[in-house]
Structure 1
């Protein structure tokens, strides 16, 4: 209960001075992370959070389920249609290349961990999340099409990488034994994915259709529609768990299936589920502050810094530039899209789930996972949170010079 009081008190305090803090790029995630760090150090700490329990695992999964559902519904139809070729390059070419580069980097830096652990590192650190540079989406110095592309990419790539994360986690947990246990773990993960897709489709498509028909027939009210929308990610998560599937993958599939019908619902139908997702995500950033203190209190592997730095630069930039070759974009657009790949909530959630799963059997691997995730997100908060403003200004000046030259 102390954790709840402190978390909500910190959030309220940030809400009072958010405008002033924004001048120094201190966003809500940064403020909540700093609060989590400050209040979880010392002996005894003000707030104690146990991250290794099954209750903590389910809580993290539910938060991810709501966030993935919201991400899936945030895909702007006009952007997808107008920029489908560019999005295809980013999601179907750059994303697999980024994952492969992450696996190679992890395998070279941590050879004793094996390729499964390297693949798990990549699955945790590949997803893009705009939270560390949230003001970017509202920065009018960048063209609307570019901001829309970044929004769609960040909204879909974490859902696309989620099944890969599950397979990598299953392989890492079974690594070191006979081939049989590894094969069995992978089969179990594939079975969980099948039931997750089924549960998500069964909930998302009929749920969206029923809400749309009820609204069009005048049987319901806007407030009830908002509550019904909030119920869908939780319903898909619960159904997947009952079927021995993966809950957060089911929520993402439900969001994708729900989205077409959601466009016929009242304008504010998604506001409640978005607000719930935002509140849960900020609580998770506070927990991340606790993870930061835990990651750096024990023995720290210096190779983690190199991996995080490479993951945020070469591993992201090179595949995106390769995928955009021949796209018709000029150099400024390509470089900006390649650089703007901040890491945030998806990496935190995947890292926490991997840490919770690995801790009982392989403490060293769990610690490495926690350190890799923590360092990558922290460096992203600094690199992307502090550089997007100067980059946007430089980009705007380059556009003005190009327009003047054409004139």
Structure 2
């Protein structure tokens, strides 16, 4: 399996990159760690550490185009997440972070590079432009892990995605200025072409997005070909724009994604989910590829000034940029502080830095050789720091969900009120939602938080902050709607965290819904009508605490007719399907439907 001069064949190298990248993400999920930390460690281990995987040797000239195309698709997927309706009260902050934050970040970063890291002004101005980028590929998993509140989450996500192509173009501008200065030309000869690049790339990106939307909306593309057509359109837009206006493809594909995201396409959700899956593969692959491409000689260029530079960037440059940009924006101080102390860098910064470092060295700027190790050091430091501190910082500032994820009950009913009240007594966040205001009356009278509206509507997506909730129960009287809710929310909450009350038995197979749709049935598998009947007969949702003396078998022996709905332990609430097994250790509290004649026995263990 070796290539002629030693090493791995290209196909083996690509397979190794995939296994390491996805494997690192899976291990990080199991260990509740930032995935990018493990990916970086894996890439450095097999690359400069063991010299087992050397991309330049094993893959050759394909490395640079692979990284460029992957970054373009990543940015397009980022643009797909930027629905303008999602901005709402965060719009002012996003505008300021882009319009004011980008130039301020460029200036402060260049100053830190020159006065602290010791780079000349040529390399500092180019790399300072690249440092505007805050890493959308890193921000998204960090936000999911930290379960951040909606507005600061939107601020960080929009800033990262919008500033990514702007950072690349800032580096282009700085490099053109350096080139013109070296040739003794005038400044205008650098600025005018940049303006044209902005205009051309923006026009191409908007036109490409509009054409895709029109083709999909008018059914010119069959459903099964929409994702392939979209991929090809992204690649064509990126490459075509770069051919017309060099280094402008990133801006074009980002704008293309924003146009598609705001077009209200019926198939948009499926498109976005597929792109998210592709992005996970690309992010992991690019990180392994770039980390493995490092060499020990380059890393040895890092010294004490590089360490001082990292400290200044994290503790001075980033906070000063954000706080000055958001001054007078009306945003709460804790939100401004959280954004100011959160600035991880990622794939795009390393990729673009590597590109311009080579150009600077070719131009005769010796400091250009230090750009790549500084970029990797910045990525590693910020990813590790924010990966382990964002969640505690968000909790300290009151901008994150509770440690115990709460429960969303879709459908107002006596059963929903009883289950919600039991969760409230256990200090578990609970929200009861319904499309009928009257059905929420019982929940309101019980003091439960309620939301009047369709849980699947766009207004709910942008207006209801679900960061505190990790479990969903679809419990309306409409089996088809319950199935729709469970199917739609399963990818977001995780299928293991989505339940629905059992469907009523259909008299005919032609009326039955497919078993592949929906989620696992709650508890004993009772339907809405059966649960309503039990509530009418006096059944209640009760909480029982297991102890050394009162085990699960004891509870079942004393409550033969009762059935479990869920359990609460140190990790929070877990609903239970019929027959689900779990570790019934002392201290676990059981949520169960208990008949009236067993009430006194069940309450004894509370």
TM-score range, shorter chain: 0.7 to 0.9
Contact 2:149 2:400 in 1 (8 A): no
**Equivalent-residue separation in structure 2 for 1:50 and 1:272 (angstroms):** 30
Quote the offset at 1:335 in angstroms: 0.9
Q: TM-score, normalised by structure 1?
A: 0.84
> Aligned pair in 2 of structure 1 residues 79, 176: CA closer, same or farther (>3 Å)?
same
Alignment of 1:220-299 (within 5 A): 220-221=222-223, 223-245=224-246, 246-261=248-263, 263-294=265-296, 296-299=298-301
- Does 2:221 match 1:211? no
Greater Cα offset, 50-59 or 162-171:
50-59
Root-mean-square deviation (Å): 3.0
Greater Cα offset, 328-337 or 242-251:
242-251
- Does 2:396 match 1:391? no
| Corresponding residue number in structure 1 for 2:206 | 201
Q: Which one has the bigger strand percentage?
A: 2
**Equivalent-residue separation in structure 2 for 1:346 and 1:200 (angstroms):** 19
Residue 100 of structure 2 aligns to a residue whose secondary structure is: helix
> Aligned pair in 2 of structure 1 residues 397, 85: CA closer, same or farther (>3 Å)?
closer
**Equivalent-residue separation in structure 2 for 1:346 and 1:262 (angstroms):** 28
Contact 2:77 2:275 in 1 (8 A): yes
**Equivalent-residue separation in structure 1 for 2:216 and 2:54 (angstroms):** 41
**Equivalent-residue separation in structure 1 for 2:352 and 2:306 (angstroms):** 17
| Corresponding residue number in structure 2 for 1:85 | 92
- Select the residue among 145, 151, 174 that pairs with 2:151: 145
| Corresponding residue number in structure 1 for 2:360 | 358
**Equivalent-residue separation in structure 1 for 2:400 and 2:363 (angstroms):** 53
* Residue deviations 1:299-352 (CA, integer Å, cap 9, x gap): 434322222322222111012112222333333222111111211122112112
- Does 2:185 match 1:179? yes
Alignment of 1:23-102 (within 5 A): 25-27=33-35, 29-41=36-48, 45-50=51-56, 55-102=62-109
* Residue deviations 1:179-217 (CA, integer Å, cap 9, x gap): 36x7656655555444433332332221222222227xx
Quote the offset at 1:39 in angstroms: 0.8
| Corresponding residue number in structure 2 for 1:339 | 341
Contact 1:10 1:35 in 2 (8 A): yes
**Equivalent-residue separation in structure 2 for 1:85 and 1:195 (angstroms):** 27
- The structure with the larger Rg is 2
Quote the offset at 1:377 in angstroms: 0.7
* Residue deviations 1:63-101 (CA, integer Å, cap 9, x gap): 221122111121133322332122222222223222221
Contact 2:135 2:347 in 1 (8 A): yes
Quote the offset at 1:388 in angstroms: 0.9
**Equivalent-residue separation in structure 2 for 1:127 and 1:266 (angstroms):** 27
| Corresponding residue number in structure 2 for 1:3 | 13
Q: Which has the higher contact order (CA 8 A, sep 6+)?
A: 1
Q: TM-score, normalised by structure 2?
A: 0.58
Q: Which one has the bigger helix percentage?
A: 1
> Aligned pair in 2 of structure 1 residues 47, 220: CA closer, same or farther (>3 Å)?
same
**Equivalent-residue separation in structure 2 for 1:102 and 1:283 (angstroms):** 28
- Does 2:34 match 1:21? no
Greater Cα offset, 316-325 or 197-206:
197-206
Contact 1:236 1:247 in 2 (8 A): yes
Listed as ranges, the gaps of 5+ residues in structure 1 are 401-407
> Aligned pair in 2 of structure 1 residues 175, 382: CA closer, same or farther (>3 Å)?
farther
